[in-house]
Amino acid sequence: MVSLTQPSAEVIRAFLASQARAPLTYGAVGGTVTEPPPGYVVDHTRAVVGRGDLAFVRARTALERWRQLSLGWVQARPDDTPIHPGEDVAIIARRCGVWWLSACRIVRVVDEPGPIRRFGFAYGTLPDHAGIGEERFLVELDEATGEVTYDILAFSRPNWLVTRIFYGQMRHLQRRFGRDSVAAMKRIVNDQGTTLDESDGRRH
């Protein structure tokens, strides 16, 4: 869905309601948690964003609050969508003076203890999405080194005619998203001027 104005909360609710019964647009569901399928472009961004337990809690809370997508030019709505399989969320991006509204569904949640603690989730595309594929966001704490790592893995191909025509621009935005999302996570994890309520991730 493309709009000349920023979509309102009502428009977003109606948009997601129209996608609620729609199937995912690809077959390799969970491929970002196991192995990406052939026939798609794969993007993988991985970076150390902090150290220690508090950094991991901050990074995990950021994912739970969709803050890895709060980048100014892109955002998730509603940003209180629970991180549970089957939940639908709208991804809004602003480019070339228009707003692009795409629908995704959470397909996997990762929450693993152990010497490398992991938390994250993957969502896949619904029919009203500019692309076809899946994206996974993951934070890890290596207990041995104390490093907290943020990892984004996606496989995709264009869906709409306009994204096929302007596929080079789409690839530019996908690469930019990886860089901007890592930068946002580093700021969140290392922001010493605030504390986070671990129950809802809000600043105080």
| Alpha carbon 10 to chain centroid, angstroms | 22
User: Per-residue pLDDT tens for 109-142?
Assistant: 999 999 999 999 999 999 998 899 999 999 999 9
Rounded to the nearest 10 degrees, what angle do helices 53-64 and 167-190 cross at? 130
In 3D space, the residue among 115, 123, 190 whose CA is nearest the CA of residue 150 turns out to be 190
For residue 46, the cross-strand partners are 151
Count CA within 13 A, CB hemisphere, residue 107. Answer: 24
pLDDT at 202: 43
* Torsion over CA: 85, 86, 87, 92 (sign): positive
Q: For the domain made up of 2-190, give the CATH fold.
A: Alpha-D-Glucose-1,6-Bisphosphate; Chain A, domain 4 (3.30.530)
Amino acid at 147: E
Residue given tokens 């109606």 in the structure block: 14
Q: Could you read off the pLDDT of 71-106 as tens digits, one per residue? A: 999 999 999 999 999 999 999 998 778 888 999 999
pTM of the entire structure? 0.89
Residues 133-186 pLDDT 10s: 999 999 999 999 999 999 999 999 988 777 667 667 777 788 899 999 999 999
Tokens of 18: 């129209």
* pLDDT of amino acid 97: 82
